[in-house]
Structure 1
């Protein structure tokens, strides 16, 4: 009888450990967007080296808009077929990963 009572106490005690509330730690996620200052330039003002690099890398690309920042890095908005995207290059036509 003693073993039965002890067994019952152990079983009932183990159920109470599953009933404890789970505390969720509220974590705040802060996103910081760093936006460089690009100003729009006319397509004619884009250096020839950048245009040639674009034509060589993406022959079917259409240059929609161009932007430049104070470091003379160019952001090129292009369209290839029905897809749009942006590329980054320096003034000598070398591609930049951003």
Structure 2
């Protein structure tokens, strides 16, 4: 009986420690997402020519719905295609695609 109580106590303690670690990881992940989203909305007309040319070349049916820029002159573009699909693209000021 003592062994059973001991095993139950260890199990409960392990689950509690795991729950605390999970909460810490979730909080850290939220902070990372917030830190990466330092983009300010701009008008599509304010995009550099190199960025609009890259969109036209690589996605000829795309329409730029919204555009954003950050301090490093990286651009976040929300685009939609003629077939109804949409997505987000990231480019530098020279029109090179980047991963975020």
Structure 1-normalised TM-score?
0.71
Aligned to 2:53: 52
Gap regions ≥5 residues in structure 2: 1-6
How do residues 1-98 of structure 1 correspond to structure 2 at under 5 angstroms?
23=11, 25-26=14-15, 27=18, 28-29=21-22, 30-31=25-26, 32=29, 33=33, 34-80=35-81, 81-98=83-100
Q: What secondary structure sits across from 1:53 in the alignment?
A: helix
- Kindly indicate which of the two structures has a greater share of residues assigned to helix: 2
The CA deviation string for residues 54-96 of structure 1, in whole angstroms up to 9 with x for no partner, is 1111111111000000000000000122212100000000000
- Structure of greater Rg: 1
Measure the CA separation in 2 of the matches of 1:57 and 1:50: 11
Q: What secondary structure sits across from 1:85 in the alignment?
A: strand
Q: What secondary structure sits across from 2:54 in the alignment?
A: helix
Q: CA RMSD in A?
A: 2.0
Structure 2-normalised TM-score?
0.70
The CA deviation string for residues 18-70 of structure 1, in whole angstroms up to 9 with x for no partner, is xx769363323223223331000111100110000011111111110000000
Measure the CA separation in 2 of the matches of 1:35 and 1:94: 19
Gap regions ≥5 residues in structure 1: 1-19
Aligned length: 81
